Structure 1
Amino acid sequence: MGLNPHETTPRCEVYELGIVPYAEAWAWQKSLVQRHRDGPQPDRLLLVEHPGVYTLGQGSTLDHLKRPPEQLPYPLFRTERGGEVTHHCLGQLVGYPILNLKRHQTDLHWYLRQLEEVLILTLAEFGVMAVRQPGLTGVWVGHCKLAAIGIKVSRWITMHGLALNVCPDLRGFEAIVPCGITDKPVGSLAQFCPEVTVDIVRPVVVKHFAAVFGVVPTTENVALLDL
């Protein structure tokens, strides 16, 4: 879908894709980034859950794996995002914004803080007061990390994004040192709100993403991606 030059508030197409294998969602992101390079595109937000997987940042080593790669319980991918190793699994809501930051602010620190703000506002709706940790990226409750952020920005087009632990099985994190942080555990929203589900949290994330980035969200059919 093209851009409307007469729109005063930018539109953001939201795709609620359900459970998607990591490699498939990664390929979608790269295809959408290429579309931005080929010509004007609307901002997009892909929302998914992944079956169990581990991902490494572009410059990360294997030092934060507690087992050899072939002994990990789930597949391992090296990606172009920043940051160290992390884990995705069912019960974790993953958001991949494909944004043109020239429409927002061409400032990577600003973008990271905006993603954190989306998560902080989302958790606040469930009575959980999350904060930032100085010098670190992500969202925390005390010393417990509830959400991770890792991005890639090229020509001011974003990919990768955020992962909020809603109600996952956290045992998959035991095989790694998440984000290379040794002294702070990983937690989930379900530890504070036992009945919470990804389906409950997803629209709250969309609402706050739209407010923080100043966009109008439109829910789109996956077929419109035409990938």
Structure 2
Amino acid sequence: MKQLGSELKRRCYLKRQGIVPYAVAWEEQRSLLEDRLNNPERDDILIILQHPPVYTLGTGATEENLKFDPQASSIPLYRTERGGEVTYHCLGQLVGYPILNLRYYRCDLHWYLRQLETVLIRTLGEYGLSAEREAGLTGVWVKGVKVGAIGIKAKRWFTMHGFSLNVCPDLSGFSQIIPCGIRDRAVGSLQQFCPDITLSEVQQTLIRNFAEVFEVELYSDQ
């Protein structure tokens, strides 16, 4: 098992995908997970992308947190195998799907969730934003508004699904749900605090912090 802090870093393939429909990315994750269950020696993968507008529900999520009729909505809704309640993805939001073999890190899902939060917190810190965790909740907040969400799935210690960071999205889609089932917290974006921020620069910062927090060697074809 890889020890954190060791000189030998786990290799992780970085896959930048641009804009991908949710169903396409979801199927790819399932395929990559299945491949690694059958071939556990494969390198890890970090997929970074954006989704066109879409709502997703976690395994045990309730439709009571929807403010619209799913049968009449022009925006697709998917029930997935991740944890958590309903969330919204759209352009201007960076989404990361790490496909990791936690046996090389730590077989502890709570640790993994906190690591993902740390990636987002460090990223925001580089733009002068003091990001925080909220006791008993998963995600990242800045000045009381939630800017980062996390929902994961693990099978035999292989992960899928992941995190999202609101950089410069149109937040209106969140008004149609109770995001993550949290009624007393607003959803925000980095652009509210840093008006000149760009998606491309945040993506690079996020990728670098992911590599540092998980102590992996990222490589790609790009």
TM-score by length of 2: 0.95
Instruction: Tell me how far apart the structure 1 counterparts of residues 73 and 198 of structure 2 sit (CA, whole Å).
Output: 27
Gapped regions of structure 1 (runs ≥ 5): 1-6, 222-227
Residues 158-192 of structure 1: per-residue CA shift (max 9 Å, x gap): 00000000000000001000000000000000001
Residues 116-145 of structure 1: per-residue CA shift (max 9 Å, x gap): 000000000111110100000000013200
CA distance 1:184–1:73, shift in 2 (3 Å) = farther
Question: Which stretches of structure 1, 4 residues or more, deviate above 3 A after TM superposition?
Answer: none
Q: Residue type matched to 1:211 in 2?
A: E
Gapped regions of structure 2 (runs ≥ 5): 1-6
Q: Which residue of 1 aligns with 2:4?
A: none
Aligned-residue sequence identity (percent) comes to: 56
Instruction: Tell me how far apart the structure 1 counterparts of residues 95 and 52 of structure 2 sit (CA, whole Å).
Output: 11
TM-align CA RMSD:
1.1
1:86 aligns with 2:62: no
Residues 191-224 of structure 1: per-residue CA shift (max 9 Å, x gap): 0111212211111111100010010111235xxx
Q: Residue type matched to 2:145 in 1?
A: C
1:18 aligns with 2:18: yes
For 1:94-133, list aligned pairs within 5 A: 94-133=95-134
Instruction: Tell me how far apart the structure 2 counterparts of residues 33 and 198 of structure 1 sit (CA, whole Å).
Output: 28
TM-score by length of 1: 0.93
Q: How many residues are aligned here? A: 215
Q: Residue type matched to 1:98 in 2?
A: I
Residues 97, 159 of structure 1: 8 Å contact kept: yes
Instruction: Tell me how far apart the structure 2 counterparts of residues 190 and 70 of structure 1 sit (CA, whole Å).
Output: 33
